[in-house]
Amino acid sequence: EIVLTQSPDFQSVTPGEKVTITCRASQSIGTSLHWYQQKANQSPKLLIRFASQSISGVPSRFSGGGSGTDFTLTINGLEAEDAAAYFCHQSTRFPFTFGPGTKVEIK
Amino acid sequence: DVQLVESGGGLVKPGGSLRLSCAASGFTFSHYNLNWVRRAPGKGLEWVSSISTDGRYIYYADSVKGRFTMSRDNADNSLYLQMNSLRSDDTAVYYCARDFSYGADAFDIWGQGTLVTVSS
User: Do the chains contact at A97 and B106, CB–CB below 8 Å?
Assistant: no
What residues does B13 pair with on adjacent strands? Answer: none
Give residue B119's pLDDT: 97
How far apart CA A102 and CA A104 sit, in angstroms, is: 6
A5 to chain B: nearest residue by CA?
Answer: B44
Among B47, B97, B106, whose Cβ lies nearest the Cβ of A97?
B47
CB A21 within 8 A of CB A6: yes
Give residue B101's pLDDT: 87
Interface of B with A in 97-116 (CB under 8 A): 97, 100, 104-108, 110-113
The residue type of A36 is: Y
Q: What is the pLDDT of residues B40-77, one digit of tens each?
A: 999 999 999 999 999 999 999 999 999 999 999 999 99
How far apart CA B26 and CA B15 sit, in angstroms, is: 36
Give residue B104's pLDDT: 82
Give residue B77's pLDDT: 98
Among B61, B108, B110, whose Cβ lies nearest the Cβ of A95?
B61
Cα B25 → chain centroid: 16
Supply the mean pLDDT for chain B.
Answer: 97
Among A44, A49, A92, whose Cβ lies nearest the Cβ of B45?
A44
Banded pLDDT at B102 (limits 50, 70, 90)? confident
3-state SS string for B72-99: EECCCCEEEEEECCCCHHHCEEEEEEEE
Residue A50's CB: how many other CB atoms inside 10 A? 16
User: Do the chains contact at A38 and B108, CB–CB below 8 Å?
Assistant: no
Give residue B86's pLDDT: 98
Q: CA torsion angle for B66, B67, B73, B78 (degrees, to 10)?
A: -140
Give the Å distances, CA to CA, from B94 to A88, A90, A101, B64, B109: 18, 19, 17, 13, 14
Using left for φ > 0, alpha for ψ between -120 and 50, and beta otherwise, residue B41 falls in beta
Q: Looking at the complex, does the CB of residue A55 fall below 8 Å from at least one CB of chain B?
A: yes
The residue type of B106 is: A
The pLDDT of residue B107 is above 90: yes
Give residue B103's pLDDT: 78
Query: pLDDT by residue for chain A (107 residues), tens digit each?
Result: 999 999 999 999 999 999 999 999 999 999 999 999 999 999 999 999 999 999 999 999 999 999 999 999 999 999 999 999 999 999 999 999 999 999 999 99
Q: Strand, coil or helix: what is B30? A: helix
Give residue A70's pLDDT: 98
Q: How many CA atoms lie within 13 A of B26 on its CB side?
A: 9
